[in-house]
Structure 1
Amino acid sequence: MRVRPPAPKKPTPGLLHEYADRLVAFEYSSSNRVKPHTLLFISGLGDGLGTVAYLDDIVAALDDTQWSVFSPVISSSYGGWGTSGLGRDTDEMARCIDYIRHYKSGSDVDERKRKIVIMGHSTGSQDVMTYISSPNPRHPQPGLDPGHGHKQMPVLRPQVDGAIMQAPVSDRQAIEVVLREGNERHSAEYMRKVVGDAVASAKKHTYEDYDALDTIIPLPVTAAIGYPASTAISSRRFLSLTSPDAPASPSEDDLFSSDLTVERLRKTFGMVRHRGVLGREKGLLVLYSGSDPAVPPHVDKERLLTRWQRATDAERQYWHAESGIIPGATHTLEGARQVEQRKELVRRVRVFLRDVEGAS
């Protein structure tokens, strides 16, 4: 029997902006009106334009408001995440925000009243946390910028009026489940050996050519873990995602693991109040999925969120009241069984944006 292919999606109206050299952002727009406020959406590992299903729900819910939605393509979009990193992501987010501010100068709303909120899904949440908590500008990273052939210098990140993290999960703890239980193709013993050998090699040969060029982990190794077989992953990003020395010495990407120390949380969540990049109290919305398959069963989600909030709000109240667990929500909230969870996600985002818009 011939299987009928799925019906193609309807065309999405909008504008394509080139915000930096060879980098574009899509603005969801059903009219030519320049809306004063902006939600900048950063997708997760392997995602790109239009690949996070619930973004359509958010766009539809904001259609009759003063908010427009931008979805940028950054160096780590689609398969680029394997050789990119959070620092480069946040630099490119900063360039996109600078562009949007210039573009929105055509709005009839006073510049001081125009708002920008950044929202990250999954690994996009790591980008958001890095944007609001790391040194500004960040410290230069080793390695070459592949687009220009020299060391990429960091940029000063503009202040934002709000930040949203949806489905912030630990890549390291998800990998640990595979090492403990194996997967459909390989036993746990095999996976521990393969990953252990890869980690040892990556630590020993992280860079070549006088520490300028990243080395690449063999594709059979990363494919065995469950990463796309066509995605090249550098030793530096592999070590960042697997974070083999955690929890004592977690890597750059290891921001959301449940076993991180209080001291580590002080250096991430706890730095939000010191950097000045998140410009207002009640400006952080954290939305954790209650039935996220990427979260190991032993993780106490409520306790984890409490630890994050305590680290963030030690002096000022940055967490928004709508933060918390969305019961029954999966990682991407995709599919017919996630309709109510998507509605709840959109409701919380709308309340948050309304409060940001109303703030002086």
Structure 2
Amino acid sequence: MNLSSSLLSSISSVRTKISSTPKMTKTPSETDVGGGASVNRKNQFRGSLFKYGSKSIQVAFKTGDFRRQVIFIGGLTDGFLATEYLEPLSVALDNEKWSLVQFLLSSSYIGYGTSSLKQDAMELDQLISYLINKEDSEGVVLVGHSTGCQVIVHYMGTNAACSRAVRGAVLQAPVSDREYKATLPETAAMIDLASSMISEGRGMDLMPREADPGAPMTAYRYHSLCSYMGDDDMFSSDLSDDQLRMRLGHMSTTPCQVIFSMADEYVPEYVDKKALVERLCRALGGAEKVEIEWGNHSLSNRVKEAVQAMISFIKTEGPKGWDDPWS
């Protein structure tokens, strides 16, 4: 076969395979997942790649071809293949007749510093609209990792039309960016600078590189992530019960599961994790609490427990018929 015909054959392939980034590379092994299924850990997905919006970044990848979807929303610096549990989760979901959707936002990879929760919520709404109109979706469950949890909370507070399609939410590692950033020596001075820039009407201007060496960062987003009661400050241990209810209370009408890693490396040592997760679940209106002992931030060391918890919740809280969000 010549090069041209080989290329055409590849383009016409019905299935798309996305291999892992180096971050995900490991020796394949047999891993048990929820429901007793077994998956050969190749760190690969088969499914469909599609555009859900007009921006070049607005690309999504869906495994399975079902009318119920779990949408994964990663944290800062994340994109496709963000956590180790996604592959076994997709297999377990397939067994339950659910699709897994991973998607890129303007804030993905190094875009988080020039974006916002408002922008994330708008793009999430576009994705859900696509699934309703193009995939005839019967409903979605949102799974947030790290800062992705903030995106879910913000989105569900917007009352966007498509938010009615959300049948449940999983918050995995809902931890405070502010409390972690406060452990870094440069943070206090950078917060003062960001506040000054915002007061001068320069909130969308970029901060100095030392604010975040990994990504360009606007004064607004730095302030949002790092300042007390900034827009991203939803899960801090020093917020009062009233403040937590003000930030999270609207989630009480959405079935919610909180998966908290009891050895999360981004939670300062002084934080009482058990007390914090209890307060968060109460503020969320009685969310289901899952504490994973020795689990790290991304649960890469507790993949099986992560998948089992999510599948158990999704099977219980999944859509049992839902209203047309457009009516």
TM-score by length of 2: 0.80
AA in 2 matched with 1:292? D
Q: Which residue of 2 aligns with 1:269?
A: 248
Change (3 A) 1:355 1:221: closer
Contact 1:97–1:158 (CA under 8 A) maintained in structure 2: no
Choose which of 202, 220, 223 in structure 2 pairs with 1:239.
Answer: 223
Deviation at 1:7, TM superposition (A): 7.3
**Alignment-derived partner of residue 108 in structure 1:** none
- Separation in 1, partners of 2:81, 2:281: 31
Cα distance in structure 2, aligned partners of 1:161 and 1:11: 28
Match of 1:163 among 143, 160, 169: 169
- How many residues in Structure 1 have an aligned counterpart in Structure 2? 282
- 1:42-92 Cα distance to aligned partner (Å, 9 max, x none): 011001011322111211222222100001111110010011011111111
* 1:21, distance to aligned residue in structure 2 (A): 0.6
Q: Paired residue for 1:119?
A: 143
Which residue type is aligned with residue 60 of structure 2? A
Task: Name the counterpart of 2:208.
Answer: 218
Aligned-pair CA distance for 1:213: 6.7
Distance 1:220 1:312, change over 3 A: closer
* Residue 26 (str. 1) matches residue 5 (str. 2): no
Q: Show the 5 A alignment for 1:67-146.
A: 67-105=98-136, 114-132=138-156, 134-137=157-160
Q: Report the counterpart of residue 293 of structure 1 in structure 2.
A: 265
Percent identical among aligned pairs is 31
Task: For residue 196 of structure 1, report the CA deviation from its aligned partner.
Answer: 3.3
Corresponding residue for residue 295 of structure 2: 329
C-alpha contact 1:98 1:158 (8 A) present in aligned 2: no
The answer on whether the counterparts of 2:258 and 2:281 sit within 8 Å (CA) in structure 1 is no
CA contact (8 A) 1:91 1:157 kept: no
In 1: Cα distance, 2:43 partner to 2:236 partner: 38
Measured after TM superposition, the shift of residue 103 of structure 1 is 2.3
User: Counterpart of 1:351?
Assistant: 312
On the 8 A contact 1:115/1:356 being kept in 2, the answer is no
Partners of 2:283 and 2:45 in 1: how far apart? 40
- Inter-partner Cα distance in structure 1 for 2:164 and 2:199: 31
Match of 2:189 among 197, 201, 204: 197
1:312 to 273, 284, 290: 284
Q: Give the match for residue 38 of structure 2.
A: none
Partner secondary structure for residue 183 of structure 2: helix
Give the aligned partner of residue 63 of structure 1.
Answer: 94
Structure 2 Cα separation of the partners of residues 10 and 296 of structure 1: 31
Assess if the C-alpha contact under 8 Å between 2:194 and 2:203 holds in 1.
Answer: no
CA contact (8 A) 1:49 1:71 kept: yes
8 Å CA contact 2:292, 2:305 repeated in 1: yes
- CA drift of 1:297 comes to 1.3
Partner in structure 2 of residue 187 of structure 1:
none
- The corresponding residue for 2:234 is 255
Provide the C-alpha distance between the structure 2 equivalents of 1:95 and 1:358, rounded to a whole number of angstroms.
20
1:144 maps to what in 2?
Answer: none
- Check conservation: 2:203, 2:220, Cα contact below 8 A: no
State whether residues 204 and 218 of structure 2, in contact with CA within 8 Å, keep that contact through their aligned partners in structure 1. yes
Structure 1 position 93, deviation (Å) = 0.6
Distance 1:19 1:174, change over 3 A: same
Unaligned runs of 5+ in 1: 106-110, 138-154, 179-190
Give, in angstroms, the shift of residue 161 of structure 1: 0.2
Q: Is the strand fraction higher in 1 or 2?
A: 2
1:172-207 Cα shifts (integer Å, max 9, x gaps): 1112222xxxxxxxxxxxx2xx43332222212238
Q: Over aligned residues, Cα RMSD in angstroms?
A: 2.3
Is the CA contact 2:47–2:61 (under 8 Å) kept in the aligned structure 1? Answer: yes
Within 2, Cα distance between the matches of 1:135 and 1:26? 25
Asked if structure 2 preserves the Cα contact closer than 8 Å seen for 1:40 and 1:119, the reply is: yes
Shift of 1:27: 0.6
Q: Deviations over 1:251-278 (max 9, x none)?
A: 11110110101221121221223xx6x3
1:296 counterpart SS class: coil
